[in-house]
């Protein structure tokens, strides 16, 4: 979707806050300076400020001015906030928080998916798995299909709250999958583990679905922890997904 001036301004200011260019607890530049610097009207700037207030990034008032709030106030379930952080780079602390969230959310979601998935849900998950398998065998974009596989499973839980969480988890999942595909035979090894999750959901076996996803999550956590311990650079999510070579 093409963003308008308002959308671009919100992105610009949001990224600036998360990058620390506007410090937490301190005021952002006054309206006249920001309008001149960014080439926007006061009306457009004020609408952008309202959006950032709603996301918990800033507060504004007649006596305190417009100040950046501490990061614990930021709405980390807002897709824009996560997208800005992903673009800037996922910090080790942010990744650890996301990994904890994944370990809590996905096993429960798989249980629900095994109980509630519709025929359409199964078809979408099967399609994503087929894309992963094709990328392993013939080369191509494994990561995008892997991400779709997991997001379709979360959707199959038929729980609106879990579906909303999937927008946050997507940043971690993408990072995890990029790391896994960098390992020798990483995608080849993980493919049957994904099949085990899907088969358990199709068979309406909640216990098996939960156990299978835990195996995948534990492996992904180890991959990320190894990268963090080695101080190797984490994948940049602003770059295109890494493509596999044909097997």
* Residue 98 clears pLDDT 50, i.e. is over it: yes
Phi/psi at 39 (5° precision): 70, 40
Helix, strand, or coil (residue 147): helix
- Phi-psi category of 204—alpha, beta or left, where left has phi over 0 and alpha has psi -120 to 50? left
- The pLDDT of residue 238 is 64
Radius of gyration of the CA atoms of the chain, in A: 20
Quickly state the pLDDT bin for 247 (edges 50, 70, 90). low
Look at 1-15, 27-41, 106-120 and tell me which has the smallest mean pLDDT. 1-15
* Residue 244 clears pLDDT 80, i.e. is over it: no
* Both structure tokens of 182: 């960098």
- The pLDDT of residue 1 is 47
Predicted confidence (pLDDT) per residue in 13-71, tens digit: 999 999 999 999 999 999 999 999 999 999 999 999 999 999 999 999 887 789 999 99
* Residue 246 clears pLDDT 80, i.e. is over it: no
The per-residue pLDDT of the chain, averaged, comes to 90
Quickly state the pLDDT bin for 155 (edges 50, 70, 90). very high
Predicted confidence (pLDDT) per residue in 186-202, tens digit: 888 999 999 999 999 99
- The pLDDT of residue 237 is 66
Nearest Cα neighbor of 12 from 237, 173, 44 is 44
Helix, strand, or coil (residue 68): strand
Domains and CATH numbers, the chain: 5-73 (1.10.10.10), 89-244 (1.20.120.530)
């Amino acid at each position: 979707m093409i963003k308008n001036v308002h959308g671009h301004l919100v992105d610009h200011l949001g990224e600036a806050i998360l990058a620390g260019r506007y410090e937490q607890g301190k005021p952002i530049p006054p309206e006249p300076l920001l309008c001149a610097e960014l080439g926007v009207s006061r009306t457009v700037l004020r609408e952008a400020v309202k959006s950032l207030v709603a996301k918990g990034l800033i507060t504004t008032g007649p006596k305190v001015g417009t100040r950046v709030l501490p990061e614990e106030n930021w709405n980390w379930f807002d897709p824009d906030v996560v997208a800005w952080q992903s673009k800037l780079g996922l910090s080790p602390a942010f990744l650890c928080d996301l990994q904890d969230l994944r370990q809590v959310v996905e096993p429960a979601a798989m249980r629900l998916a095994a109980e509630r998935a519709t025929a359409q849900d199964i078809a979408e998950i099967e399609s994503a798995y087929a894309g992963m398998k094709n990328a392993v065998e013939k080369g191509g974009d494994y990561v995008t299909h892997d991400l779709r596989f997991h997001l379709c499973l979360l959707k199959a839980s038929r729980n609106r709250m879990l579906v909303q969480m999937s927008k946050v988890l997507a940043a971690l999942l993408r990072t995890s999958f990029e790391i896994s595909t960098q390992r020798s035979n990483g995608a080849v090894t993980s493919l049957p583990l994904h099949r085990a999750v899907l088969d358990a959901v199709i068979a309406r076996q909640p216990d098996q679905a939960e156990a299978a996803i835990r195996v995948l999550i534990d492996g992904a956590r180890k991959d990320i922890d190894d990268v963090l311990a080695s101080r190797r650079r984490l994948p940049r999510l602003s770059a295109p997904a890494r493509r596999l070579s044909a097997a």
